[in-house]
């Protein structure tokens, strides 16, 4: 019985309970350095520290050391006889996965500097990222070796709350382009979380159709079509919809921005041009010449329009020659009302040239089969003397008729 009791006591003495340390939510870890020891010209004191990154990703860290009075000690360390020193106190450094960084410095002896001895230190996880490190060290003096115990000798895990670092556009931005792609930057890599909730862009009560993508720590939202001018939009990211590891966005995140005012345009630059400035690939007759499409007579119905020759629809064109190069950025078009607007153009291109031979596409679009004044806008690639509308196809395969065209520059 005594032998069994002794065995139980022996097991109890050498059985160490497993201590699971909860992840920290702060990015700073303080520790004490046992520096209250002999230091003089005949008593050298060595400080040695090592930090190992257990994270699968690189970590960015800073080691701060503090003297007895509280001021920082930032001297570059020294290496000798197998003792390395790669850390500069007070300066950030990157530590790759499973890599170790060291610091060593000698006080007293020939160097003196006993009054510069650091009595405490602080490890800082930079950039708001999660980390997992283990660190230790020692102070060696004539009194012996005293260990530096950091985080009770346990692994230090930092799992910071998931937060938004910045957005593009920023909250309350104005004059945001209507084709803006929206980026939300988080403090760490992210994934989609609760799919029962929706990330949205809203304008009033209207939800903007959008696509979503994640790249590392960036959530990208791209509206499927241009936003409206002079409107305020709000981006809503509900709590739980974005996660990172075991953390998630704890509360709804919203920000708003206002789009740019609509651009202004010149008056119709084709007004006042001579008849000779207008030409076309073909005309049905002398009564349907290309200048009739630029005479400011809207709502034509079989008259006062340009009409192509029969069976000359595909890739037919109507052209304007300006006296000087223009940066046309807007086209207004109306189809002729003949046969219920069935003779209007369908798919078309706006092209420009400076030599009337080599043409550069400025815009590709589709016109509707109705009598509205249809406006098409684009950003021109430059200034050109010749501008034409090339008709890829039309609603009527026999011929195309245009009631009116106008061309403007953006101001």
**What does the buried/exposed string (b/e) look like for 150-167 if buried means 16 or more CB atoms within 10 Å of the residue's CB?**
bbeeeebbbbbebebeeb
Q: Is residue 172 part of a domain?
A: yes
Residue 358 structure tokens: 């080599």
Quick one: pLDDT at residue 128? 63
Angle at 143 between CA 138 and CA 144, to 5 degrees: 40
Joined together, the tokens standing for residue 332 give 């207004």
Q: Is residue 127 part of a domain?
A: yes
- If asked whether residues 83 and 117 sit together in one domain, one would say yes
Is 14 buried (19+), middle (13-18) or exposed (0-12) by CB count in 10 A? Answer: exposed
Q: What b/e sequence results for 49-79 when a residue is b if at least 16 CB atoms lie within 10 Å of its CB, and e otherwise?
A: bbbbbebeeebebbbbbbeeeeeebeeebee
Dihedral of the alpha carbons of 183, 184, 189, 195, in degrees to the nearest 10: -100
Query: What total number of domains does the chain contain?
Result: 3
Are 43 and 149 within one domain?
Answer: yes
- pLDDT given at position 2: 42
Residues 66 and 138 in one domain: yes
CATH of the domain at 78: 2.60.290
Give yes or no: residues 219 and 316 share one domain: no
Report yes or no on 153 lying in a domain: yes
- Cis bond leading into 169, ω under 30°? yes
Do residues 404 and 334 lie in contact, with contact meaning Cβ atoms separated by under 8 Å? yes
**Ramachandran bin of 355, using left for φ above 0, alpha for ψ from -120 to 50, beta for the remaining angles:** alpha
**Which of 158, 193, 208 corresponds to the end of one domain?**
158
Cα separation, 78 vs 94, in Å, equals: 19
Same domain, 399 and 324: yes
CATH code for the domain of 306: 2.60.120.260
Tens digits of per-residue pLDDT, 53-99?
998 888 899 999 999 999 999 999 999 888 999 999 999 999 999 99
Pairing of strands 384-391, 347-353: antiparallel
pTM for the full predicted model: 0.57
- pLDDT at 277 (0 to 100): 98
Compute the distance between CA of residue 123 and CA of residue 259 in angstroms, rounded to an integer. 44
In the listed set 204, 231, 259, which residue is the last one of a domain according to the structure?
259
Do the beta carbons of residue 91 and residue 124 sit within 8 Å?
no
Q: What residues of the chain score a pLDDT lower than 50?
A: 1-20
Q: Are 79 and 190 part of one and the same domain?
A: no
User: Which residues form the domain of 369?
Assistant: 275-409
229 located within any domain = yes
Q: Choose the final residue of a domain: 106, 141, 158.
A: 158
CATH value at residue 176: 2.60.40.1220
201 forms beta bridges with 235
């Amino acid at each position: 019985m005594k032998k069994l009791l002794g065995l139980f006591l022996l097991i109890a003495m050498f059985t160490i309970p497993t201590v699971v340390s909860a992840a920290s939510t702060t990015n700073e870890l303080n520790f004490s350095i046992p520096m209250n020891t002999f230091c003089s010209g005949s008593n050298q004191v060595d400080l040695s520290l090592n930090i190992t990154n257990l994270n699968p990703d690189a970590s960015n860290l800073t080691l701060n050391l503090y003297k007895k009075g509280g001021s920082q000690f930032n001297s570059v360390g020294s290496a000798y006889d197998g003792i390395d020193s790669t850390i500069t106190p007070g300066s950030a450094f990157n530590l790759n996965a499973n890599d170790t960084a060291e610091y060593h410095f000698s006080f007293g002896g020939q160097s003196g500097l006993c009054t510069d001895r650091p009595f405490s230190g602080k490890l800082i996880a930079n950039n708001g990222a999660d980390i997992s490190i283990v660190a230790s060290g020692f102070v060696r003096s004539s009194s012996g070796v005293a260990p530096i115990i950091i985080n009770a000798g346990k692994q230090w895990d930092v799992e910071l709350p998931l937060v938004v670092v910045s957005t593009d556009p920023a909250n309350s931005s104005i004059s945001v382009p209507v084709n803006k792609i929206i980026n939300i930057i988080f403090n760490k890599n992210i994934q989609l979380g609760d799919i029962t909730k929706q990330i949205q862009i809203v304008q009033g009560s209207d939800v903007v159709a959008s696509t979503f993508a994640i790249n590392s720590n960036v959530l990208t939202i791209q509206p499927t079509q241009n936003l409206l001018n002079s409107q305020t939009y709000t981006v809503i990211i509900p709590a739980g919809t974005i996660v990172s590891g075991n953390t998630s966005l704890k509360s709804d995140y919203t920000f708003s921005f206002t789009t740019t005012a609509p651009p202004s345009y010149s008056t119709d630059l084709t007004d006042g041009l001579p008849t000779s400035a207008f030409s076309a690939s073909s005309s049905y007759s002398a009564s349907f010449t290309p200048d009739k499409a630029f005479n400011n007579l809207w709502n034509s119905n079989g008259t006062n329009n340009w009409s192509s020759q029969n069976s000359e629809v595909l890739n037919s064109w109507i052209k304007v020659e300006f006296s000087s190069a223009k940066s046309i950025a807007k086209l207004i078009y109306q189809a002729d009302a003949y046969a219920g607007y069935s003779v209007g153009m369908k798919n078309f291109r706006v092209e420009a040239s400076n030599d009337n031979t080599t043409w550069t596409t400025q815009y590709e679009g589709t016109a509707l089969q109705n009598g509205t004044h249809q406006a098409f806008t684009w950003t021109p690639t430059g200034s050109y003397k010749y501008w034409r509308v090339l008709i890829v196809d039309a609603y009527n395969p026999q011929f195309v008729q245009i009631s009116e065209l106008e061309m403007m520059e953006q101001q």
